Structures are given as C-alpha cells and as structure tokens.
Structure 1
Amino acid sequence: MGLILSAWLNGPAADGVPSSSSAFPPLGVPTSSRVSLILSSSAVSPGDRRSRWSSQHHSPHFQLSQCKQEVTRAPAELSSDGVRAEVGVESGLHVWEVTWNPEHRGSHAVIGISRQDFPLQDSGYKVLVGGDSLSWGWELQTNQLWHGGEILACFPCERRGSLRLKSSNSLHSKEKDGPLLIPERVQLVLDADAGTLGFAVFGTFLGVAFRDLPPGVELFPAVSSVRGGARIELRYLNGTTRDPPALKALCGLSILQNLGQQRQNQVDKLPLPPLLQHYLLSSF
C-alpha cells in the first residue's frame, strides 16, 4: 500500500544502484488524483498479457524467456537492438515496470514507448528507442530524453539544479553535475488520453517526460540495448480508463494520505467498520 506507489514497488529488489533512494523524493512532482490512485492501487496478476515482450517484434539478438516477461540480449558486436511489448494501448492511463540491473546496462540503455512499426535493430552502437520519429526514450546512463533522433532534454536534471541552489547542504548540492544513477526498477506512466509519458522510481513520480504523443495510436513499452547479457523484465502493474475516479476510491486515497506511509499498517486500528478496513487493505 502507499500514496505514491504500493509496497511491491519499494521492496528489497529495488536496491539495485549504489545511490540512495533518498535522492529521489525531493525530485517528485505533484500528481493528479487519477495518477495517484493508479500508482497506489494493487498490481494486477503477473501473468497478464500486457506483461509480455513480443515474440515477433524484437531484434534477432534478443532472446525471450518462456513466459515472455524477460528478454536477454545475446553478445553481438556493432549492433543496437530493441524489443517492444506484445500488447499496446490506444487510450487510458497505464503503468508498467521495467527491471534492468544497472550493472548490465552499458551505454545506450533506453526505456520508453514506441509505435507498432518502430525499427528493432540497427548497425553500430546508438540510441534506438527515441532514435526516430516512431519512439520516445529515456537513456538511463545519461538521463537524456530522446525523440526523432535528437536529445530533447535532461530528465529530471532541471529540478536537480534548482534543488542544489535552494539548499547548499542537501544531498543534491554535494553531487556532481553528472547523471543521476537510476535504480533497477523504473515505472513507465503512460497517459494515452492526455498524450503524456512520465517515469517513477523508488516510489517517486518524477513527472512528465514527453508530451503531445499521437492520439488514437497504439503505443507499446519498448527498450533498446547494446550490451551483451543484458536482461530486461517487463511487468504491467495497473491501468484505468479516462473516466473520473470513483468517490469511494478518492476517499480511500485521502484516508491513506492522512495516515502517512509509515502508519499504513495500522488500518485495522482506525474507527471504521470492518468492511471499510478490508477495502483499504485490499485496494491499495
């Protein structure tokens, strides 16, 4: 459970980088109730089809696991390789999680989304997701946002600079101007109705990275890599339609927000009927 991301996003497996998770909460941005609800809701079954990489749409240098939830890039010289999800979306708000060990990323490690006909292999070592007009990517090693073969911005670098100026004694003021170390697990937050793609890490929503995504077009989570042995896992976490959130869900979110993340294991002590306690425990 949790206001921003539930406990299964904050478990031990997320500790995949040497930098502390405390680097990220100051970079978080306020979210709408719709986004807050979907990020705090329980995850769907791991066997959901939306958690699978496509067995047809991937570079020949990527090998799929039997369950199709993990791909491994075989060693290959002078090749950039991509893979997209089996199932895309045209509408609604959706969250996927990509698990990728930072030690197995190498250069040009990119996560993002693509259209159906995104090219899945190219010669040389380069950014593939975001390297054309059909895809949008976040290069994890450099923190750069890519689209149309161009670097659009550094994400979330602008807010990091602002934080350094505000607090000379903060963790961020002690950091160099180099890239932020991105943890093993990253959540993609795609709002196909609003045409935006954002990212979340360590339970913190970092904000919208891309806007003005094409409406009514099927979009797929996608990754690209140049490192041999890189293993990348995909999991669909949750989604919702463009309809406004239900009042019951908003009330539940408000209760949990007032409890605070450290006290959310005390829901059974609230002066609420058992039915409402069960709803809070099972839905968030």
Structure 2
Amino acid sequence: GAVTLPSGDKTTADRPPFSSSAFLPLAVPTSSRLAVTLNSPPVSPGDSRSHWSTVHRSLHFLLSPCKQEATRSPTELSSDGVRAEIGVKSGLHVWEVVWRPEHRGTHAVVGISRQDCPLQSSGYNVLVGADSQSWGWELKTNQLWHGGAKTAQTPLLIPERVLLVLDADAGTLGFVVNGSFLGVAFKDLPRDVELFPAVSSVRGGACIRLRYMNGDPPSLMALCGLSIRQNLGQKRLKHMDKLPLPPFLQRCLASSH
C-alpha cells in the first residue's frame, strides 16, 4: 500500500526552488542501517547495477553506450518506460536517479517495478504505478501511484537528483531529496521476488540517468563507526585521535567521517 508522504508546511512555496531547506521539515529519522548505507562511499560508477536494461524498455527509449542514460525519442501519444538491468530480492539498496526538471513533462515517474510491469502504452499516462506490479512517485505533481490509484500530495519543486531507497527485506520504498529521507512512501512490497528501479516518461528528449549507490548488509565496522561518531557528537569529532583505539581503527574512523 501507499503511505502519504509529508506535504510540507505552508511556507514551502515561498522558499527558493530546490532549496534543501524546503525538505528539512519533511525529513524523518533514518535507521542506523540506512544511515550507514547513505554515508558509505558509492560503488564504482561502472557497476552493472547502474545499467538500464536493453531488453526491458520501450523502443522509444534509447540507451547511451554505457547504458546509464536513457533518452526518450520525440513520440506523440505514447507513454514509455524502462527498467534497470539488474533487480534485487533482498537487502537495503539505494539508487540515484538524475532527471532534470525541464525534461519531465506532464508524467515523470520514478519508482520500483516487478519484471512484468507494462513499459509502453498509447496516450500520455503514468506507467510506473499504473498496475499492481509497480510503485511510482510522479515528480511534477508529487503524487504516489500504485495499482492505478494515486495519493495526492501538496506539489513540491523536486530537484534533478532523487535517491530511491528500497528495503527488499521489509518490503518498503522511500525517497531521499537534498539529503532528507522523506520516510516510507510505499509498504507491503512483495518479498523474495526481483524488484527493479524503473521510470516512465511522456516527454520527447527526456534524459534520465541511473546510478547504483550502495547496499547492505553494512559491515560491523561501519556500524560501530557510526555509533562512535553519533556518541561523540559533531563538536567532538575532531578529537577522535584522542580515543584509546589502535591506529588502524583511528584511520578507519577518520576515512569514514
């Protein structure tokens, strides 16, 4: 089912477009597991989990040679989608989707789908979230879509970079914008089935970039490092070298900060 994302306070429209301050009131606390994943160095940009699928896409989507960019051809009265090449069945995973606001058109949707979600239809429609096999966030209207039903939100100016947070173990999907985790947008996603990042678009020339950032399980060292930094607090982080720890652990804490 869908979970209503916070709609924001009444002053959001008065703030500068895409200012991170517009999303701070919407942020919810992250688990230690997600905090470690978000603060870990991203995997290599060439990772195959960053690739759009050459097979699971509308023919109106053309892929770059590196398969990280999908560009929709100018086509009238068509809605078109593309999925990632590699899906996941378990774990916590974060992908980055870069989609410039001026390239979104009337139906710009990012989300997660199973392998049999439709990827093309006639007319201008939402595809990701239009059936029971997919879950989508329509960026222009800030609407959540699943099973063909939408949950309306107060419109927000969503910047070009959005992070998808899929917890395949818990069956939840959420989003991070400008460093703010907006909480669980969808719950009750199916377990033990392959789930893929997916987008759908109706705008000719829309260029959408995918990058797999990181996933868990996080290492015990990363969780311990996060706990130490949280207990030290921001003001005392520069004194980490005074902790009674072996040099190797000191270096690990310094490199992860």
Normalised to the residue count of structure 1, the TM-score between the two structures is: 0.79
Percent identical pairs in the alignment equals 72
CA drift of 1:216 comes to 0.9
Once the two structures are superposed, residues 86-110 of structure 1 have per-residue CA deviations (whole angstroms, 9 ceiling, x without a partner) of 0000111111010000111111100
Matched, 1:254 2:227: yes
Runs of 4 or more, structure 1, over 4 Å off, are: 258-264, 266-273
CA contact (8 A) 1:42 1:282 kept: no
Partner of 2:224: helix, strand, or coil?
helix
Q: Which amino acid aligns with 1:60?
A: L
Q: Which runs of structure 2 are paired with 1:16-31 in the superposition (5 Å)? A: 18-31=17-30
Matching residue of 1:141: 140
Matching residue of 2:4: none
Q: What is the rounded CA distance, in whole Å, between the counterparts of 1:144 and 1:261 in structure 2?
A: 36
Q: Which runs of structure 2 are paired with 1:73-152 in the superposition (5 Å)? A: 73-151=72-150
Matching residue of 1:229: 205
- Out of 203, 213, 218, the position equivalent to 2:194 is 218
CA contact (8 A) 1:267 1:281 kept: no
Q: What is the rounded CA distance, in whole Å, between the counterparts of 1:84 and 1:257 in structure 2?
A: 37
* Distance of aligned partners of 1:246 and 1:238 in 2 relative to their CA distance in 1, 3 Å threshold: closer
CA drift of 1:207 comes to 0.4
- Out of 192, 216, 219, the position equivalent to 1:240 is 216
How many pairs were matched up? 241
Q: Which amino acid aligns with 2:177?
A: V
Partner of 1:221: helix, strand, or coil?
strand
Q: Which runs of structure 2 are paired with 1:5-44 in the superposition (5 Å)? A: 18-44=17-43
CA contact (8 A) 1:62 1:83 kept: yes
Matching residue of 2:253: 280
Q: Which amino acid aligns with 1:82?
A: G
Q: Which runs of structure 2 are paired with 1:39-58 in the superposition (5 Å)? A: 39-58=38-57
Matching residue of 1:192: 168
Partner of 1:47: helix, strand, or coil?
coil
RMSD: 2.1
Q: What is the rounded CA distance, in whole Å, between the counterparts of 1:146 and 1:199 in structure 2?
A: 14
CA drift of 1:283 comes to 4.0
Structure 1, unaligned runs of 5 or more: 1-16, 158-177
Q: What is the rounded CA distance, in whole Å, between the counterparts of 1:270 and 1:23 in structure 2?
A: 38
* Distance of aligned partners of 1:74 and 1:240 in 2 relative to their CA distance in 1, 3 Å threshold: same
Matching residue of 1:169: none
Partner of 1:22: helix, strand, or coil?
helix
